[in-house]
Structure 1
Amino acid sequence: MTKKLSALALLVAASLSGCAAQHAAKPTPAPEAQTTVTAPAETGVLKRELADGLYEMVLSPKGDALYVASSEGFKDVQGGVVYKLDPTTLKTIGRSHTDLKNFALAISPDGSTVYATNSLDGGISAINTADGKVKKRLLFTERNKEGFPYGARQVLLHDGTLYIGGVADPAVVWVVDAETLKLKKTIKNAGQWVTGLLWSEQTQRIYVANGGGEILIINPRTNRIEKRWKPLGDKPALLLNMAEDKATGRLFVTDNSKAKTTLVLDIHTGEVLKQLDVGDSLAVKFNAKRNELYISQRESGKLLSLDATTYAVKQTWELPPNPNSLLLSDDGQTLYVTVKQAFNKDHSTNGPDSVVRISLK
């Protein structure tokens, strides 16, 4: 277990990122943790301490529920939780207790199913949003040289198919039927650690970031890798998260580990259009409605808003200690952030992680 947790600690620090029985509680309201406004009310910033091990979030298609993945603790804690929050007040309106730990999330177009990756166990779970129960699960068979499962990190739902990045060296991308959770194909030779996935509306391709500094382009019709880019060449890079500006054909890619930058690429050619020297960069979101770019900075404890044309910093939010994942509402007027506590040597933390809601109006 110690080796397993050590491998997971490395995986989750980079951020995000079927067979087992499941006993999930019906999503009934939970006792409220303290909710505090971290700035004057007119700033529109609401922060709630929620639970240990918070990672990615997803909004329901109707915008009436915010789902937050939690691995819970890594020290002497089994299983995790998917929290269902009111997206305006951040109050708990439901929760699903799971026997495996949860990291990345996706949701079906009709809102009936939330998909959660179970990184420690190398799997994907489909959770029924009506009752909070895990209705299907797929555990992948690949093992690394130590005998541990490949970490199932990011998940992308496109056209009834789940694309799930496997953290290994060489890595894989699993292609899974979203309805049946049956494995359709394993895309191999995906470099070192698949860390990010993005569907491009402009090119109709899937983009894959990895820890070897590569961007892979997958054709979803054939599920084959068509191109491999290495935008920084031989310079060390651990590319993580991506966002697209479909109007201009720009692809934004972050690195908070080695290059500590945000790259602006031509989404058709991979050409580096700009390298943003704003410091360590983790999650990234592009807001077409406001022409803004949002970047979380895990090490400095900040969230930046940039003008997406000039790349000038418009606003900075202090969100210590470690802002992590970002989620943007469909109308472009609300931004959600998970804020993590630092890990201690024994994989414990000094307090619960938080969810932050920022009104951009």
Structure 2
Amino acid sequence: MYVPTRMGCCVALAVAMALALPAVAQPPEFLSTAQVAPALIRTDSISGAYEVVHWGEAGLIFVASVPSFDKGSAGFIQVLDAATLAPIRQIQLPRRPFALALDRGTGRLYAGNTLDGSLTVIDARGGQVIDTIQLGQPEDEGVEHTRMIALDEARGLAFVTSPGRQGVVWIVDTRAGRLLHRIEGGLWTAGAAYDPAGRFYASGGGTEEISVIDASGQRIGALSTGDTTGTGEDDSRHFFVNLAIDTVGQRLFAADAETGTLHVFDIASGRSVAQVPTGPGTLDVAYNPARGEIYVSWRGVTRDEKAGTGGLTVIDAGDYSVKQRLSLPAHPNSLEVSADGRTLFVTVKAPHDKDHPDYRAGGLDSVLRLDLARLAAAN
């Protein structure tokens, strides 16, 4: 995924967000390289890696790849063996993909072309481009950007967020390949999570950080910390950049890029019931019901400190205690839990700031495969 700033539309990943890590009790020590090694397979082979999705039935993972931000340059989907991370094929796209979502029933892969404000529909087995669906409307010198995609496979719907100052959510009929609804409202609408019961959650900043939208396109509620009282952009106390959902326990997990914290919301009451400090540059969050764990990636940089490196925080989903911390230089990005809950896939960005001590011209991004049972045994 790309990282929008608080101002919404910037996609330059080297620009870090303003973050502050609150004072907390001493967290667990980082696992050593030797401790993590038995659980880890890593490939440093992707140019411009962003989101990753896993297709267990086919034994594949798909990685969005954007080697260049130059206008008119191509994008790619890198297809890797899910067990070994060995490359299988490369799919070239006419537009650059950042976000990915897979409809496992139809075998269709949806790529969010952030800078073009559109979706590309791809046959996941054969690699052919089936369709391109334009969502973003012209604004300033470009178009409204897309960000995250969440699918309702049963209803044939795709929910897509747009992180502008005026937040937008699009609902797409994936069977007909057409836009059904455009819902405006919210600030920096970035994160996305979907409950198959028919509720979509879109997160960002402002006084009501999380909007609740039903499958018919109606905004039916909101979840809020209550911390932000002013209506201006600079008043926002939080930026929930990504979401994950516990559909059984009816909880939302929100990655707060503004404070480096994971917020846990009880959906029924709409209240934030727990806050777990994770790390500076908190970005993605994934929930694993099979293991009762939450995973949070953090990039390790702030606006004032651009030379840091990030990691992964493993949280107990029962009592919200931090179980493990892993250092994953340089900048962990997107997370994907396998359907059986045994494996976590992570994309890791190489530094793009030339002042970063680990910067190397032409450096490639990474994909990691973590065996979660072996990782748990590393303590």
Scaled to the shorter chain, the TM-score interval is: 0.7 to 0.9
Question: Which deviates more from structure 2 when the two are superposed, residues 109-118 or residues 350-359?
Answer: 109-118
- 1:73-129, Cα deviation, whole Å (9 max, x unpaired): 225881110011000110111110112111111112325211000001111000112
SS in 2 for 1:173: strand
Say whether the 8 Å CA contact 1:106–1:116 is kept in structure 2: yes
Distance 2:354 2:163 in 1: 22
Distance 2:354 2:142 in 1: 21
Q: Within 5 Å, give how 1:229-268 maps onto structure 2.
A: 229-234=223-228, 236-256=237-257, 258-268=258-268
Q: What code does the residue aligned with 1:278 have?
A: T
Say whether the 8 Å CA contact 2:252–2:265 is kept in structure 1: yes
Offset of residue 169 of structure 1: 2.0
- Equivalent in the alignment of 1:206: 200
- 1:273-313, Cα deviation, whole Å (9 max, x unpaired): 11112333221111111111111111151111122222222
Question: 1:303 pairs with 300, 303, 312, which one?
Answer: 312
**C-alpha root-mean-square deviation of aligned residues, in Å?**
2.4
Q: Within 5 Å, give how 1:88-167 maps onto structure 2.
A: 88-110=83-105, 112-144=107-139, 146-158=140-152, 159-167=155-163
Q: What code does the residue aligned with 1:147 have?
A: E
- 1:20-69, Cα deviation, whole Å (9 max, x unpaired): xxxxxxxxxxxxxxxxxx75786210111122221111112515110111
Offset of residue 228 of structure 1: 2.4
Is the aligned partner of 1:183 residue 2:183?
Answer: no
Say whether the 8 Å CA contact 1:263–1:274 is kept in structure 2: yes
Offset of residue 168 of structure 1: 1.8
When normalised by structure 2's length, the TM-score is 0.80
Offset of residue 175 of structure 1: 1.1
SS in 2 for 1:120: helix
Distance 2:16 2:88 in 1: 29
Distance 2:269 2:138 in 1: 34
Relative distance call for 1:41 and 1:314 in structure 2 (3 A) is: closer
Say whether the 8 Å CA contact 2:75–2:96 is kept in structure 1: yes
Distance 2:103 2:15 in 1: 25
Say whether the 8 Å CA contact 1:111–1:129 is kept in structure 2: no
Question: 1:355 pairs with 367, 373, 376, which one?
Answer: 367
Q: What code does the residue aligned with 2:350 have?
A: Q
Distance 1:61 1:90 in 2: 13
Say whether the 8 Å CA contact 1:212–1:239 is kept in structure 2: no
Q: What code does the residue aligned with 1:143 have?
A: P
Relative distance call for 1:50 and 1:212 in structure 2 (3 A) is: farther
Distance 2:100 2:126 in 1: 17
Runs of 4+ with deviation above 4 angstroms: 10-14, 38-42
Question: Which deviates more from structure 2 when the two are superposed, residues 148-157 or residues 268-277?
Answer: 268-277
Say whether the 8 Å CA contact 2:224–2:272 is kept in structure 1: no
SS in 1 for 2:115: helix
Relative distance call for 1:63 and 1:352 in structure 2 (3 A) is: same
SS in 1 for 2:10: helix
Aligned residues between the structures: 327
SS in 1 for 2:147: strand
Q: What code does the residue aligned with 1:215 have?
A: I
- 1:160-202, Cα deviation, whole Å (9 max, x unpaired): 111111222212111111123211111122x22221111124x
| Unpaired stretches in structure 1, ≥5 consecutive residues | 1-5, 15-37
Distance 1:11 1:345 in 2: 10
- 1:225-262, Cα deviation, whole Å (9 max, x unpaired): 11123314215111111122233322111112x22211
